[in-house]
Structure 1
Amino acid sequence: MRRRLAQALVALSLATAAGCAGPGTAIVAPPGVPEQTGCDTVNIAANPWSGYSANVAVVGYLLEEELDCEVVTHELSETASWAGLNDGTVDVILENWGHDDLKKKYIDGQKVAVELGLTGNKGIIGWYVPPWMVKTYPGITDWKRLNEYADLFKTKNSGSKGQFLAGDPSFVTNDAALIKNLKLDYTVVYAGSEDKLIAAFRRAQADRTPLLGYFYEPQWLLSDVKLVHIPLPPYTPGCDADANKIACDYQPYDLDKIGRKAFVDSGSPAATFIRNWTWTNADQNEVAKNMTQNGLSAEQAARKWADAHRDVWEKWLP
């Protein structure tokens, strides 16, 4: 069996994140399109956070082991992954966080992509502080009082304002607009990557230093450090329609999968497998933690999960 996936994912794992048919239903080629009977090359976008890496590890491992596919991963930002669906370099995005604007462009407009159903993961994005801060400063979880605490969060990188720590600059976020529109005395500073963001929250809890920052789940860190979410003005449909005027919390997401239309229309068994694939936040966190904290390679972490959950993934097979 090929091991290209493990080789392609090693840098990512060390650094770290169609249709409505029911489970088990095969994707078939439309009339006039030749049916693909075997699995050829599958190009998977690999976005830079550990949960996504866990998705790629398990899906890629099973595509290789069970369907004899050749899996090629492409380390791309979220936006670049969608462009890959258009130029043919990407066949599938395994974890999509909303992006209604990109769906409108590539699915409704250019018709080069299609939805492949839900991953089963529940996504929550928001503002978080380490748990020690809530005990010491009970009012810190009220966003209306954040300006009272701005001086606590000043750093050499934030100047005269409080620091709001973001992660990877390629993540699509609302934080700068939220700070502006909620009239908060903070500025966004980038940690640079998910790993560095995680390390900052770990240090903040261990050393009892103030930290306010962007975070999300599913994420394995939350089983170790129970970060506390600061609710912002509640999300309502459409409140984030204008990126410059956003003044509401992030939308809760049922994460989904996006496929290149030509790849799905080929009737590839890989497309059927990916559409059938669903798992839980706990599944993803288990694999991600093994890859980032327990010294397992992507292939080793995927095999360990697959060996323990055969009853789950057998249902994904075409």
Structure 2
Amino acid sequence: MRVLAVGLALVTVSSCAVRTDQIARDPGVVRMALNGWVGYEASAEVLAYILRTEMGYDVQLIRTDEQPSWQALDQGVLDVIVENWGHDDLMELYGPDGNGTVVDGGPNGNVGGIGWYIPGYVADAYPGITTADGLREHTDIFRTAETGEKGEFLGGAPGFVTQDEGMINAFDLDLEIVFAGSEASQITEVRRRYANEEPVLFYFYDPQWLQEELELVRVDFPPWKPGCDEDLEWIPCDYPQYHMNKIFRTGFVEADEPSYQFLDNWTWTNGQQNDVARMIADEGLDSEEAAAIWVEENRDVWEPWIPEGAAGR
């Protein structure tokens, strides 16, 4: 199968054992994590398409959540995560200061921002609602049958990076988090309410193609400062900005094959990711077809990613 799903069994090794990421592998195969949001899928599919068609690699896209992706790198089951949102705790565990099985691969070019959003028509109808104080005065407009006397805060997937409960506590907001379950389900619900001009308050982020389709306004909280989010139960600040990076299996880096060099060279912009993500999520194209279209139309962008002397050059 082109896209694989895996369940991971943790491996315990003694301090004298071979590093778990050094499991023997076919150098003609690249194993790439496929996390559960369409922007990540856009990046992974474009990279996989070029590796296959221009460089002759077999690419396995392995569908897994964020934390299990790191465990899979540690165990030698994966070679690369192409879009990492923070996870300093996992880098401490598996990186050079931990057991040494993963390496920070540097920026992928995407700049990420997580925040709380409302539609523009809600911001217009309730002046001041885009601040913590204003939101506190108007949480009642977000009440639903499911949340009763509390306003609803619409989350995405439970496994996404989140500090929302700590913000609700710190800013004394009468809100209850309801998880949509996935990015796709959340977008469907937001678009439904937007079409009916219903109030909705929700977790969202950038890069994300829907930001270019709907008029959305981010709620303004005190800016993030180092240490303000240490207590997950009490977070009196906004989310930090994320400069997304790649995470490599250490053994993949040490082998220094053209596949690694290609992924190491790769960076692209939020807009480029959104172009592919929109084709997948909004236009209904198969993800590989969307990648093929982008690759065909942007040769000048991706050709420099291929290392000199690699197949296809």
Using structure 2 for the length normalisation, give the TM-score: 0.88
Between Structure 1 and Structure 2, the one with more helix by share is 1
SS of residue matched to 1:197: helix
Q: Out of 302-311 and 234-243, give the one that drifted further.
A: 234-243
Residues 86-114 of structure 1: CA deviation (Å, up to 9, x unaligned): 11111100000111111111112111000
Note if 1:155 corresponds to 2:144: yes
Task: Give the drift of 1:292.
Answer: 1.3
Counterpart residue type for residue 238 of structure 1: G
What are the within-5 Å matches in structure 2 for residues 74-223 of structure 1? 74-107=62-95, 108-223=97-212
Q: Does 1:238 align with 2:227?
A: yes
The Cα of 1:255 is off from its aligned counterpart by 0.6
1:61 equivalent in structure 2: 49
Alignment equivalent of 2:40, drawn from 5, 30, 52: 52
Structure 1: state its 5+ residue gaps.
Answer: 12-32
Query: Gapped runs of 5+ residues in structure 2?
Result: 6-21, 308-313
* Aligned residue in 1 for 2:28: 40
Work out which of the residue numbers 277, 281, 291 in structure 2 matches 1:288. Answer: 277
2:246 alignment counterpart: 257
**Counterpart-to-counterpart distance in 1, 2:99 and 2:148:** 44
Deviation of the 1:39 alpha carbon: 4.7
In the alignment, the residues of structure 2 paired with residue 247 and residue 271 of structure 1 have an alpha-carbon distance, to the nearest angstrom, of 40
- Separation of aligned partners in 2, 1:260 and 1:171: 22
C-alpha deviations, 1:204-237, integer Å up to 9, x for none? 2210111001000000001110211001111112
CA contact (8 A) 2:165 2:233 kept: no
Q: Give the counterpart of 2:260 among 258, 271, 286.
A: 271
Report the secondary structure of 1:248's partner residue.
coil
Q: CA shift at 1:242, angstroms?
A: 3.0
AA in 1 matched with 2:59: V
Indicate the residue corresponding to 2:14 in structure 1. Answer: none
CA contact (8 A) 2:120 2:215 kept: yes
- Which of 208-217 and 263-272 deviates more? 263-272
The structure, 1 or 2, with the larger RCO (C-alpha pairs under 8 Å, 6+ apart) is 1
* 2:160 aligned counterpart, secondary structure: coil
Distance in 2 of aligned mates of 1:185 and 1:86 = 41
Answer yes or no: is the 8 Å Cα contact 1:130–1:201 preserved in 2.
no
Count of residues in correspondence between the two structures:
288
Distance in 2 of aligned mates of 1:61 and 1:210: 40
1:268 Cα offset (Å): 1.8
Q: Among 294, 306, 310, which residue is 1:305 paired with? A: 294
Cα shift at 1:159 = 2.4
Amino acid at match of 1:74: I
- Structure 1 SS opposite 2:110: strand
Identity among equivalent pairs (%): 45
How many Å separate the matches in 2 of 1:226 and 1:118?
29
CA distance in 2, matches of 1:268, 1:247: 45
1:140 is paired with a residue whose SS is coil
Please give the secondary structure, in 2, of the residue aligned with 1:139: coil
The match for 1:23 is none
Give the structure 1 partner of residue 16 of structure 2.
Answer: none
Q: 2:161 corresponds to which letter in structure 1?
A: V
Tell me the C-alpha RMSD between the 2 structures.
Answer: 1.7
Cα distance, 1:144 vs structure 2: 1.4
Contact 2:118 2:217 in 1 (8 A): yes
* 8 Å Cα contact 2:169-2:233 kept in structure 1: no
Post-superposition Cα deviations, 1:254-291, rounded to whole Å, max 9, x if no partner, equal 11000000111111211111110000011000001111
Paired residues of 1:131 and 1:205 also in contact (CA < 8 A): no
